[in-house]
Structure 1
Amino acid sequence: MKTKYFIYPLLLALLLTGGLAHAERPHPGLRSDSPHYNNYRDRSGLGNAISETERRTGGRVLSADPRNVDGKQKYRIKVLTPSGRVRILHLDAD
Structure 2
Amino acid sequence: MPSIQATVAAAEGLHARPASLFVQEAARQPVKVTVGRPGSAPVDARSLLAVMTLGARHGETLELSAEGDEALAALHTLAALLAADPVQ
* Greater relative contact order structure (CA < 8 Å, 6+ sep): 2
Identify, as 1 or 2, the structure richer in strand: 1
TM tier relative to shorter chain: 0.3 to 0.5
User: Max radius of gyration: which structure?
Assistant: 1
TM normalised by structure 1 equals: 0.31
